[in-house]
Amino acid sequence: MSGRVYLVGAGPGEPGLLTARALELIAAADVILYDRLIGASALAGARAEAELLFVGKQGGGASVPQEQTEALMIEYARAGKAVVRLKGGDPFVFGRGGEEALALRAAGIDYEVVPGVTAGVAAPAYAGIPVTHRGLASAVALVTGHTRAESVADQPDLDWVGLAGFPGTLVFYMGVRSLPQIAGGLIAAGRDAREPAAVVQAGTLPTQRTVTGTLGTIAESARREGIGSPSIAVVGAVAALAGQLSWLPERTLAGRTVAVTRARAQVSWLAGRLGELGAHVIQAPVIRIEPRPAEPLDPSPYDLICLTSANGAAALFERLAAGGRDARALAGARVAAIGPGTAGALAERGIVADVISERFVAEGLVQALARVPVRHALVARASEARDVLPEALRARDAVVDVLALYDTVAEPVPSPVLAQARAADYITFTSSSTVRFFLEAVREADGRAATPGAGLSPHTRIVSIGPVTSETLRAHGLNPQVEAARHDVEGLIAAILADAAREE
């Protein structure tokens, strides 16, 4: 893949609509240039060492010039990097992918185009609107609605007479601010003001909203409901089907934003589940897992091997493989795991844990091991971890070796993402390290000045995965309003749902 650029469509926002090819390229890329219209979990599969650069354009705000984006693609490709230009929707449907392809061709850079699901089809579908339907619409026109013109007469790019007479569905992209001009232009050119129309905001995303009406009323209805971008406007008889064909289930967390601070490699399931429940997920990973060099491990001296995290389970098997060993090498030892997540990571590698703590903290595993005989134990864990488990085993006269398998290090958080996380309805912390590194990111953003309450919005509720993380939060002056009863990500989600229900 080196020295090549991939113009990849990320689809309309729902992570499940990413193509298999898109996921494959994201996982292999050295550099990813991404914009704001990609799904919340689209970057979760990127390699930890991949360079992620935001080159998006915020409506009405700052933007990265197109020429700069093209220059970056060329620069990284010439440096031998595999570059993914990740774009919302489809690169060649109002995505300026054609311009980027021409720039790459002129520079002599190899490229590949990976189509994506375009929002003009997906957003209406998620609102129950088929853009074509036998007997109602046998054609569909995709139109850019982006214009700053005060009058439709000042927008020469659109053939209003041709659009008004088009025998099918009209789908307008990027037109929510221009909706009065669009509707007025079509009506003035002869389109029936009574024709059904709809606007779908954030189509396929948890925050999706749909407003229906007629061509004559839709602009005012959208304004009254506070519809903003990104939105798709649909004009045509098919828009009337929205009420009959609506299929999305009610989303419990609809309208709420949840910031997730855990490592990018671990966030996909949590972000996906929150999205299914209707939350807008802000991925603000403040930590990164860096495995230590995989030196060979001989587990034969141990009669007990303790794993404290899923990361540790993965790294342990890398150590076994480095010595030419596999799961069979653990046959002579009992294997203990903190929580079902760690046990699940072991099961994926053919090991059924002999002991699983009911409480997902070190104290829980100490209790679970109380009646398990032990002479020589291996505790495999992160380099920075509490010594509760090793000390408890040593108190039983066991020989204990602690093996640091990986380091938890800071992951830089882009300023706009950090600002969104600090303003979220919920911000989640899944370990003490996420607390410490989040506060470090805040200090960096605020010029090392102490910020009361970490600069969180007054309405932001702090969610902790368990008592140890809560203790760390309090030690740093933050009070968790929500704490998971079950100390894993499923428990975290359950706690948020319960809190949201109480707030209702």
The H or E element that residue 421 is part of is: helix 415-422
Q: Determine how β-strand 31-34 pairs with β-strand 82-87.
A: parallel
Dist CA 482 CA 495 (whole Å): 7
Query: Helices (H), strands (E): how many in the chain?
Result: 17, 21
Dist CA 275 CA 206 (whole Å): 6
b/e per residue 88-114 (b: at least 16 CB within 10 A): bbbbbbbbbbeebbebbeebebebebb
Nearest one of 436, 438, 437 to 427, comparing CA atoms = 438
HSE at residue 165, side-chain half, CA atoms within 13 A, is: 4
Residue 57 annotated among the catalytic residues of the structure = yes
Nearest one of 358, 375, 251 to 301, comparing CA atoms = 375
Amino acid identity for residue 289 in this structure? I
67 CB neighbour count, 10 Å cutoff: 10
DSSP string, 88-154: SB-TTSSS-HHHHHHHHHHTT-EEEEE----HHHHHHHHTT--S-BTTTBS-EEEEE-----SSGGG
The answer to whether the beta carbons of residues 432 and 468 sit under 8 Å apart is yes
Can you list the positions of beta strands (E) in 182-279? 196-201, 209-214, 231-235, 257-260
The H or E element that residue 311 is part of is: helix 310-322
Q: CA 160 → CA 138, 321, 358, distances in Å?
A: 20, 66, 66
Residue 298 annotated among the catalytic residues of the structure = no
Cis geometry, peptide bond prior to residue 230 (ω within 30 degrees of 0): yes
Instruction: Kindly tell me the sign of the dihedral angle through the C-alpha atoms of 248, 249, 251, 255.
Output: positive
From the list 30, 35, 425, 488, the catalytic residue is 35
What end-to-end distance do the CA atoms of the chain give, in Å?
50
From the list 57, 303, 354, 407, the catalytic residue is 57
The H or E element that residue 503 is part of is: helix 489-503
Is residue 495 packed enough to be buried (19+ CB in 10 Å), middle (13-18) or exposed (0-12)? Answer: buried
Dist CA 224 CA 438 (whole Å): 38
The β-bridge partners of 440 are none
298 CB neighbour count, 10 Å cutoff: 11
| Active site positions, annotated | 35, 57
